[in-house]
Structure 1
Amino acid sequence: MKNLNQILCGAIVATIAASPSVGAAELGISDDNYSLEALIEAAKKEPPIIVVDATGKIKTMAANFTKLYGIKATGVKLGGQKQELILKREAAAGNVTHDVFNMSNLPSITSQILPTGVGTSWMPPDLTDTTPEAYQNPAITSLNPWVWAYNTEVYGDKCPVSNIWQLTDPEWSGRVSIPDPLLRNETMFWFNQLETHNDDAMREAYREHFGKDLPADVQSATNEWVKRFAKNGPNVTRKDSEVGPIIGTPGLKDPHFGFLSTSIFRKKYGYAMGICGGMKPFAGQLTPRVAVIASGTDSPNAAKLFVHFMMRGEGMEPQLIDGKIATNVNTSMPADEGSGVANYVDQLHVTDSTTTDQDFSKLQDWQDLWTIYSR
């Protein structure tokens, strides 16, 4: 078992910078008078809360919270875009029924949710010593790995792809499965992050694969890769749970390569899959997950207590078996986590939150590019 410090080795902390300040001064008890005991006492006087995440594990998290504090919490599984819609609609109607969200679309959060006051980020004052500063503003509960993966039954311990540009070659035409990027904004945000911060690495990967420089007239290396990859006919699914069997079902003769979350590596599925370690320039991405409190909640202290529960790591434990990495440095990865992502974290791309506003503003551009070249 490894804790966060051992896994991250300092590489991630340096690249996720603090986003614009998002205070919670009017939410529940003041931080000036804060203590965990005072927060618990105040929370017990409030109505039950509804907590939301994109994984069904939120139901277990809510039950654990209720058992620990005697404060009723109900977990609801909702996808990222539905979460945003509910936050906005309930705020506009002045009828907040969903209190806490663990959200993955950081650019949307920092560009829309927090600045408009629809949601609030709160960092527990007593957990700043165990949470790297880069994850405190907004309060990032965990990092969700998405990885390039292959069939280990067919290819053994050597991934058949060593360079992202191979996925634009005829050899892999129609043989790469990914969740539809038009249904997963995090993929489009990733494209913009790569272009903004890592285009030189994408350009170097092109040179390594093709043995020549990228043509000078391309808009960017990342833009060119997206075009070529989309034109190469990837197999697009609705979600990553549909990618897993196409890659890893035992007995496949010509399995696909693919992109999916580490949760699909869970042993219960029985897939023969491995992370494509050493793939240039990245073996996947790490997406931050942010604790957001609905600003109009009737249970602000109970909501803050649930954020505290997640930020101290204990609350996130049901999700760690899926490969998610808690940001609290005292939290360990389970020994039986299925993907082994702890061994590849330094090969995963990390969101730089100093430019998430650009990711959001350019979302439509990337969606249009993908739509045009995937036809």
Structure 2
Amino acid sequence: MTYRPTKKYRTGLALSLMLGTMSAMPAMAEDLGIPDEGFSLEALVEAARKEPPIVVVDATGKIKTMAENFSKLYGIEATGVKLGGQEQELILQREAAAGNVTHDVFNMSNLPSVTSQLLPIGAGVSWMPPDQAKTTPEIYQKPAITSLNPWVWAYNTEKYGDTCPVSNIWQLTDPEWKGRVSIPDPLLRNETMFWFNQIETHDDAKMAEAFRAHYGKDLPETVESATSEWVKRFAANNPNITRKDSEVGPVVGSPGLKDPHFGFLSAAIFRAKYGYKMAICGGMKPWAGQLTPRVAVIASGTDSPNAAKLFVHYMMRGEGMAPQLIDGKMATNINTKMPEDEGSGVANFVDQLHVTNSDTTDQDFAKLQYWQDLWTIHSR
């Protein structure tokens, strides 16, 4: 819901959240701030300037720069706060339950959690700016996806040159790569588990085709799915598990490594300041990585609904996302170009990255425990 809940409603929502019933009525975007009918940016700015300052949240420190740029542009005070994905979810829910919203806008990475939990219980709302529909692909409008964070398979160029040593994802389950593939712990990164379910739901045939291409035979008929079989085999192949992707970069791309790892990490780790000798594994089948969506969520009980909507508008038109583009993140606005000095060159591999289907993210959330259990059992 997009309206500011009354005290009575807030009390009901608090009970709903605390009891875990998930029964609160979802907020509606049309109830938040000025109406969409006859929308104009000028009217939104005018209404926003009459409201209190806002706090905007993202998982990257670049949100502070984004907030500063927004304030300079519109003369509206905004403060950027860096919080991890799980922290964001907890704060959004707890503040809704308490009826005391202090964080107004979130740019969130766990899309399945947003669509299956946070929006349905009424803690937050997704608003798509009407005037941005023509410059935002339809698949990124419900909910409003501001940007895509590329996560890619990468290799050491100092050792392997311009040719990636892996051409097929099933190679990572073979003895050759046992203990030599580094990834952030999937049990700490729900996006990886959600990705597994997205692949199984929409592209399992491509995983089966890749198996056939690599081994010259079909998967046994007894397997539940090609994707789950890959997860089992990969988990059992002793991958090197790190806490975060910044710990993957050094074992893949540090200069002078005799036996560098293959790795899975975000495009941000390719920044020049790290000095890594690595590249995206272009041509890897079925995909060279994934595009993780970031979704704009407005706290339902914000005291500044129009200022919150204006910040979402700022992100959705691409301009607001500019500080993050140098890190490899990609704005969904089709008129936004990547900086020439972006370190990974991911713009050249977009058609090789797996894209999330927002229509089935509720299934991703529902099967999270299944994938976590599968990983845990087979990685022992």
Q: Shift of residue 129 of structure 1?
A: 1.8
- Contact in 2 for aligned 1:149/1:274 (Cα 8 Å): yes
> 1:56 pairs with 61, 64, 74, which one?
61
Quick one: higher RCO (CA 8 Å, sep 6+), 1 or 2? 1
Tell whether 2:31 aligns with 1:26.
yes
Pair 1:75 & 2:80 matched: yes
Distance in 1 between the 2:131 and 2:217 partners? 53
The yes-or-no answer on 1:253 pairing with 2:258 is yes
Secondary structure class of the residue paired with 1:101: strand
> What's the secondary structure of 1:339's corresponding residue?
coil
Corresponding residue for residue 111 of structure 2: 106
Paired residues for 1:1-375 under 5 Å: 23-375=28-380
Instruction: Select between 31-40 and 312-321 the one with higher mean Cα deviation.
Output: 31-40
Shift of 1:23: 3.9
Superposed displacement of residue 34, structure 1: 2.5
Could you tell me how far 1:55 is from its partner in structure 2? 0.7
- Structure 2: any 5+ residue segments left out of the alignment? 1-25
Residue aligning to 2:13: none
CA distance in 2, matches of 1:159, 1:317: 30
TM-score by length of 2: 0.92
Q: Name the CA distance, whole Å, in 2 between partners of 1:68 and 1:348.
A: 34
Q: Deviations over 1:318-373 (max 9, x none)?
A: 01111111111111110111101111110111111121111110000000111111
* Counterpart contact for 2:148–2:332, Cα < 8 Å: yes
% identity of equivalent residues: 81
RMSD: 1.1
After superposition, give the CA deviation of every residue in 1:254-274 in whole Å (9 maximum; x if it has no partner): 000000000100111111110
Alpha-carbon distance in structure 1 between the residues aligned to 2:319 and 2:358: 25
Kindly provide the CA deviation profile for residues 173-220 of structure 1, in whole angstroms up to 9, marking residues without a partner as x: 111000000011010001011111111111111111112111111111
TM-score of the aligned structures, taking structure 1 as reference length: 0.93
Structure 2 partner of 1:5 = none
Q: Return the offset for 1:25.
A: 1.3
Q: Which residue of 1 aligns with 2:18?
A: none
- Quick one: distance in 2 between partners of 1:352 and 1:317? 25
Secondary structure in structure 1 of the residue aligned to 2:29? coil
Contact 2:139-2:358 within 8 A present in 1 as well = no
1-side partners of 2:267 and 2:171: how far apart?
A: 22
Residue identity matched to 2:201: T
Question: CA contact under 8 A between 2:325 and 2:331: conserved in structure 1?
Answer: yes
Q: Is the 8 A contact 1:22 1:138 kept in 2?
A: no
Structure 1 counterpart of 2:137, one-letter code: P
Number of the residue aligned with 1:17: none
The answer to whether the 8 A contact 2:27-2:122 is kept is no
Q: How far does residue 308 in structure 1 lie from its aligned partner after superposition?
A: 0.7
Q: Write the distance in 1 (CA, Å) between the matches of 2:201 and 2:137.
A: 24
User: CA separation in 2, counterparts of 1:22 and 1:355?
Assistant: 21
Write the distance in 2 (CA, Å) between the matches of 1:351 and 1:127: 21
SS of 2:90's equivalent in the other structure is helix
C-alpha distance in 1, partners of 2:48/2:38? 15
User: Structure 1 segments of 4 or more deviating over 2 A?
Assistant: none
C-alpha distance in structure 1 between counterparts of 2:314 and 2:56, whole Å: 12
Cα distance between partner residues in 2 of 1:197 and 1:355: 9
| Structure 1 unaligned spans of 5+ | 1-20
Distance 1:22 1:158, change over 3 A: farther
Matched residues, number: 355
User: How far does residue 33 in structure 1 lie from its aligned partner after superposition?
Assistant: 4.5
